[in-house]
Homo-oligomer: A and B are copies of this chain.
Amino acid sequence: MKALVGDVVDAEKVLRNHAVLVEGKEIMAVVPAEKVREFGPDEVYGGEGFFIIPGLINAHTHVAMTKFRGLGEDMPTEEWLGKIIWPMELEWTAREIRKWARIGVMETLMNGSTTINDHYFFAEEIANEAEKIGIRAFVGQTVMDLVEFPHADPEEGLKFFKRWQGRSELINPTLAPHATNTVSLELMREISELSDEANARIHIHLAQSRAEVEEVKERYDLRPVEYLKQAGTLNERLIGIHGVYLTDEEIKTLASAGSTLVHCPTSNVKLEGRTINLQRVLKAGVNVGLGSDSPNPVGILDMFLEIRKSALFANLLEEKAHVLSAREVFKLATAGGARALGIKAGLIREGYLADLLLINARKPWFKPRENPYSLIVYSARGSDVEMTVVNGEPVYIRGTFPRIGKALEDV
């Protein structure tokens, strides 16, 4: 049994000076710190000046795209896609994918995400790397049928999905149609049926760009959410990404269906100069997760920074201060992401998965200690993570990755 000691904070409560007891892959109990010795833990981590929070859930990634970081920065979005991203994506090999997925996963764990929801080509390689390093990963093989692309064959995507079903505690295969404008209604229907049979998540880019919305309109005379409805995709297993150009009507439809919208603030603002109005989506009752999206164009995969930006952008869009509280935005990257993925995580409770962060708050920017939500949202960065625990196992501890026997210098 392990004990993590400190101020325990999740989106529902703050327990000062408590211990989270971890047995196997689960949280066994949360007890006052002075009682920890009674339980005879094998290891005790943290102590005074630490925070223990749920591992952050990065609900939309393309971890292998670390390879492209910084390339084509400052290019108009269309040119960046045409000159940088697509040509480089044609050149992928399994070996290169493994190398860069490894970098992306290590970066992600170091900066406090315990779960990723990844959408990319060569999903087999990504799933293997993620499992090795020890992150919880929902992995989908990107598929399209309306665009010719060598690595996006629907048959292959299906094979990947079936191969990984029920195979691993950490890796959950998802169905990953690329976007509403690159997948035919027919294929989308097949994917939805499979999702129903297998009780699997569908992970899809949704209303990310004007071009996407226009193309769906032209092809089917439908809005993106109407297209999903016609395909039978609208339920609590749908994870739509971005939603920049959704109408209020579409947002309402997502809410009634119990679907999730994943907000990727930095990505949207870099590529589109816009984001969804987060407050409006939350008021409509949609479940919201947060995502970093790809390291190109976003930069570092640090979900603490995405949480902060989701709050600030919400203010700017409303031209109002204090639109969302620190606690509300913290919830999106923890409980919100967990609900999106259907895992018992995102809160620190008995019986929940032990996906946890130990934050070293013995630093100037965590003084004074009065308001934990404010400190976590507006002071913390991924670099304050001392230890990342996934499925009960410390997979990152201060510059080292015990599961794979690597140090930061080897990355």
Known: A76-B322, A301-B365, A321-B271. A370 touches B312 (CB 8 A): no
Q: Which of B66, B322, B362, B381 contacts A300 (CB 8 A)?
A: B381
Known: A370-B70, A378-B299. A364 touches B316 (CB 8 A): no
Docked complex Cα distance between A47 and B322 (Å):
44
CB-based nearest B residue for A100? B367
Min CB–CB distance A95 → chain B (angstroms): 16
User: Which chain A residues have a beta carbon within 8 Å of chain B's beta carbons?
Assistant: 66-67, 69-71, 73-77, 103-104, 106-107, 110, 266, 269-275, 295, 297-302, 305, 308-309, 312-313, 315-323, 325-326, 362-365, 367-368, 370-371, 373-375, 377-384, 408-409, 411
Is A365 touching B107 in the complex (CB atoms < 8 A)?
yes
Is A371 touching B70 in the complex (CB atoms < 8 A)?
yes
A-B contact pairs, 27 of them (CB 8 A): A69-B365, A69-B367, A70-B370, A70-B379, A71-B368, A71-B371, A73-B326, A75-B322, A107-B364, A266-B312, A269-B315, A273-B315, A273-B323, A274-B316, A297-B378, A298-B378, A299-B308, A299-B378, A300-B380, A300-B381, A312-B313, A313-B316, A363-B408, A381-B382, A381-B383, A383-B383, A383-B384
CB-based nearest B residue for A77? B321
Q: Which of B70, B299, B309, B408 contacts A309 (CB 8 A)?
A: B309
Is A374 touching B269 in the complex (CB atoms < 8 A)?
no
Is A300 touching B378 in the complex (CB atoms < 8 A)?
yes
Q: Which residues of B contact A380 (CB under 8 A)?
A: 300
Min CB–CB distance A132 → chain B (angstroms): 16
Min CB–CB distance A284 → chain B (angstroms): 21
Min CB–CB distance A299 → chain B (angstroms): 3
Is A273 touching B320 in the complex (CB atoms < 8 A)?
yes
Q: Which residues of B contact A373 (CB under 8 A)?
A: 73
Is B270 touching A315 in the complex (CB atoms < 8 A)?
yes
Q: Which residues of B contact A273 (CB under 8 A)?
A: 315-316, 318-321, 323
Is A70 touching B300 in the complex (CB atoms < 8 A)?
no
Q: Which residues of B contact A320 (CB under 8 A)?
A: 273
Docked complex Cα distance between A378 and B70 (Å):
8
Q: Which residues of B contact A409 (CB under 8 A)?
A: 362
Q: Which residues of B contact A374 (CB under 8 A)?
A: 69-70, 73-74, 299
Min CB–CB distance A350 → chain B (angstroms): 29
Q: Which 4 A-B pairs have the closest CB atoms?
A: A299-B378, A70-B371, A383-B383, A70-B374
Min CB–CB distance A280 → chain B (angstroms): 15
